[in-house]
Amino acid sequence: MPAFSDIEEVKGFIRESSPESAVYVGCDSRQLKEWTIFVTVVVIHIDSNRGAKVFWQIDKVERIRSVRQRLMEEVNRAVYTALMIADVVGERPFEVHLDINPNPDHRSSVIVKEAVGYVLAQGLKPVLKPDAFAAFAVADFLTAKA
């Protein structure tokens, strides 16, 4: 899986941020005719109240036809990125935002248990919709631009 073009820049920004700054990681995807576009983001909410710095990685892979597989790939990419930066986060608030709606009326609800279990198994804190803004708002916005 490709890493951020400069993960050290992301880690450096986190190191230089205040201990009150929160770190959120998320991923979203968009289907194109022959491709699936993934956008993984790291959002550093400066002092948890003064705006944010956003880092992102865009990856294009052969179209993933299975909804379950595509959603779990979003989870995997978010977790992978979170684990790459975890060593510098310290005691800052740190969450992995999942673009998954736990409401059974939504298609993404089919993977709630396995996605949350996977994130927890890595020692990370999962957050679902409607609170997972790094995934469903920030990464989603960037997928439209990709």
Q: Predicted confidence band at 3 (pLDDT cuts at 50, 70, 90)?
A: low
Does residue 1 surpass a pLDDT of 50?
no
**Tens digit of each residue's pLDDT (9 = 90 or more) over 111-124:** 999 999 999 999 99
Beta-strand (E) ranges in 50-141? 52-62, 94-97, 126-127
Q: Predicted confidence band at 5 (pLDDT cuts at 50, 70, 90)?
A: confident
**Tens digit of each residue's pLDDT (9 = 90 or more) over 26-68:** 999 999 999 999 999 999 999 999 899 999 999 999 999 999 9
Long-range contacts, stretch 106-114, CB < 8 angstroms, 24+ apart: 107/67, 108/67, 108/71, 110/67, 110/68, 111/68, 111/71, 111/72, 111/75, 114/72
The position carrying tokens 């986060």 is 89
Number of Cβ within 10 Å of residue 145's Cβ equals 9
Would you list the domain boundaries of the chain? 7-145
Does residue 144 surpass a pLDDT of 60?
yes
Q: From CA 113, how far away is CA 77, in angstroms rounded?
A: 17
What percent of the chain has a predicted confidence (pLDDT) above 90? 87
Which two structure tokens, joined as six digits, stand for 61?
Answer: 């892979």
The structural architecture, per CATH, of the domain 7-145 is: 2-Layer Sandwich (3.30)
pTM: 0.93
Instruction: Using CB atoms within 10 Å of the CB of residue 126, give its burial: 0 to 12 exposed, 13 to 18 middle, 19+ buried.
Output: buried
CA terminus-to-terminus distance, the chain: 18
* pLDDT (0 to 100) of residue 59: 94
Does residue 2 surpass a pLDDT of 60?
no
